[in-house]
Structure 1
Amino acid sequence: MKETSTIGFEYIAEKMHEQQLQLDSALMRSIQETPGMRGEALPYQFRSEWSVTCLLLFCFLLLSYALKNGKKYIFQHLKSLFQHKERSSLFDDTSGSSNGAVVVLSSLTCVFYGLFFFCYSIEKFPSLVFVTPREAIIGMYVFVAFFYVLLKWGSYNFINWIFFEKEHKRRWIQAYFDTLCGQCLLLFPLILLLVYYNLDFHIGSIFMLFILVFAKILLYYKGFRNFFSQSYGFLHLILYFCALEMVPLLLLVKGILYINQIVILNF
């Protein structure tokens, strides 16, 4: 009787073990065969880039340094954009620190334009995020902006050296770099809004277009007062402005689009 009871309990335990193995096997098959819900990929965000954050922090430090050391010069020359003086005043600040502030602010303008080109390219060509390192793309756009500014500076010097007097040429170059300094002060908060506050890119583009058009209007006004103040010089001003302002700008836009296509196709 005792032996029969032991065999019965062993038989029941064995059957329970087999049943548990079957349940575990069925559970594993159901897990493997039933596909899980795929996660939705998070959209790319500019503020997630450590290179963008480091670059903007460095730009903030440079901007603070320039405003601290060249504040008098900057506000004096931004004010002069809306005025016209036949000759420079003896009280104008032309110290080395002021010239350094102009170089810093003009360089920061190129950096901000490069970051805006980066935002534009990622918005219009999302595949750029996956085909090449973002640091390389940002560096490429900043280099293009620097090259554009240097090319315009060289073309201004060459054309004005041929057709205009030295004093007129000096005032025009000063006006050009003053507009770059003014654009820097307007572009910095716009870039911060685009990167860290998720400002809609279309709204940001409208603000960017406003800044650019406002700068071109100021240059148009300065060019008219500096070079073509006579009424018969209006046609010459149109030719000068289109040749050295609008055509390079169109070439810049086409160049950015062409670079994006090359990067996407080759990488």
Structure 2
Amino acid sequence: MNDVCRAGFKLIEELQAQQQERLDSALVRHMQEVQLSGMEGELLPYRLNNDWTVTCLMFLCFFFLYYSINRRQKYLHQRIKTFFSNKKRSNLFDDVATESTPLFVLILTGVTCVLSGVCLFDYFLDDIPLLTEYVSPHLLLGFYILSSVLLVLYKWGTYTFTNRIFFDKERTTAWTEAYFDVIIVTGFLLFPTVLLIVFFNLSGSPSRLLILITLLLIKILLFYKCIRNFFNHFHGILHLILYFCTLEMVPDLLLWKGIVYMNKVLILKF
């Protein structure tokens, strides 16, 4: 009798274990069906106004530009007056004497490079939406800002090297100062457009038109200063075209082609 009871209890335990396994398997299948029956969400597209890094950069740019207008009005006025003057060599200390002028110029040049990088980032973000899907937006933004910095340094180096060979020291110094003055003006002109791009989602044709107008104005200012500083006679017009196109226009085109190529490389690599 005891053996029969033990066999009966063992059978009951086996049946209970089988029933528990069936329940567990049914629960697992039910959970899988629930998960598969749902709808996959779609990732929101990347937007500049949702990126805290871009927002912080814009606040820094605003702070430096506001500081320069509020605290360095005399310096900026003197630079504008010197740019359109007939002096062979501009004098940074006509009305304003300060030891921090190089640092001030460096900071505003950096602001221009940051704003230029944001403009490039917005353009390629609209032109190639796949970029932010395969590459980190912060990496792309840093790459564009670095490209703007390298372009400024390259032009500064080539201008300095060429001018020291063909022109005297005073004209070389005057052109270097005028070149950085134009870069600073570029930052002031680009800032409103970049604000519209970042915080009001201005993209496409309107933003590109505003940026194109800014670039044309800047090139006209550089062309004017180049004539006044180096080629103030009519017979120098051919040298002016060669000088300006080689040192000003060609690097811009090469940079553009290089950025387009690197965008393709980044997509393929990541």
1-structure distance, mates of 2:89, 2:261: 43
38 and 227 in structure 1: CA distance in 2 versus 1, 3 angstrom threshold: same
Q: How many angstroms does 1:115 deviate by?
A: 0.8
1:200 to 198, 203, 223: 203
**Please, what TM-score do these two structures have when normalized by structure 2?**
0.81
1:55 to 50, 57, 74: 57
The gaps in structure 1 that reach 5 residues or longer are 1-27
Q: How many angstroms does 1:102 deviate by?
A: 1.5
260 and 108 in structure 1: CA distance in 2 versus 1, 3 angstrom threshold: same
State the superposition RMSD in angstroms: 2.3
- 8 Å CA contact 1:46, 1:195 repeated in 2: yes
1:67 to 61, 64, 69: 69
Name 2:120's counterpart in structure 1: 117
177 and 85 in structure 1: CA distance in 2 versus 1, 3 angstrom threshold: same
- 8 Å CA contact 1:106, 1:180 repeated in 2: yes
Aligned-partner SS, 2:202: coil
The gaps in structure 2 that reach 5 residues or longer are 1-29
- 8 Å CA contact 1:152, 1:244 repeated in 2: yes
Name 1:223's counterpart in structure 2: 226
2-structure distance, mates of 1:169, 1:94: 21
1:210 aligns with 2:213: yes
1:234 aligns with 2:237: yes
1:154 to 135, 154, 157: 157
Alignment of 1:1-267 (within 5 A): 42-88=44-90, 91-267=94-270
Amino acid at match of 2:204: F
Cα distance per residue 1:138-197 (max 9 Å; x no partner): 111111110110010000110001000000001101110010111111111111100101
Taking only the aligned residue pairs, the percentage that are identical comes to 43
2-structure distance, mates of 1:133, 1:37: 26
- 8 Å CA contact 1:228, 1:234 repeated in 2: yes
Cα distance per residue 1:32-87 (max 9 Å; x no partner): 7x977776654432111111111112222222333333221112213433343234
- 8 Å CA contact 2:125, 2:132 repeated in 1: yes
Aligned-partner SS, 1:113: helix
**Please, what TM-score do these two structures have when normalized by structure 1?**
0.82
What is the number of residues matched between the two proteins?
A: 239
- 8 Å CA contact 1:63, 1:104 repeated in 2: no
2-structure distance, mates of 1:38, 1:133: 23
